[in-house]
Amino acid sequence: MTARTHALGGFTAALLLAKTGCLGQYWLSLTAVGALGGLLPDVDHPGSYVGRRVPLVSDAVEMAFGHRGATHSLLAVFLFYLAARLAALRFLGVGVAGPLALALAAGYLSHLLLDMLNPQAVPLFWPWKARVRFPVPPIIPTGGLVEAVAVRGGLYAAAAYLGYAKAAGGAFNFALPGGVHLGGPLGEALLQGWRRFVVDVVNVARYIVRLFVK
């Protein structure tokens, strides 16, 4: 998958965690950490978004493990989670460390899951080097129309749903107790408000993706 898709995947994964309450009061800011986590596994590729910004590190990781090697594994998810938590404890304090590390790990894991849609697959259980991908079609090549329309479109829709559900404190449900139908002006007002909120969430997602991926 492309960097744009991975950043959006990390953003959406962090929103999913936020919906469960795991990210606390900082949930909106930590969606950006999730987007960053979605890009980190490709530090093993010097031509990637992250690799171009830390070329010496990227070259060293590629020489040691190759592209889609150790950084694309569950072990790497755990190690990055641990590093993020320890760093946040040192510099930001106890209240932020857990949520920040969770957001980063969720974004990181989303990268692996998205790459499991590719024909190349990932060594999910590294150092066992067998590559893993989802066992059923579709297998989606990187950078194609299917990725742009189906995968990113699905992620934008998921981000809109999760953002609305988090802000509203629940899922999409405009029903009142007793099955009262929300028709007329009230129903229309709620529908318009929902549409505006979806647009806002999608715009935030696009902004964060563009922030990381020029």
Query: Where along the chain do its domains lie?
Result: 3-212
pLDDT of residue 196: 61
Cis, bond preceding 127 (omega within 30 deg of 0): yes
Cross-strand partners of 176: 180
Largest CA distance in the chain: 64
Residue 176, helix vs strand vs coil:
strand
* pLDDT tens digits along 61-112: 999 998 889 999 999 999 999 999 999 998 888 788 899 999 999 999 999 9
Is a pLDDT exceeding 80 seen at residue 187? Answer: no
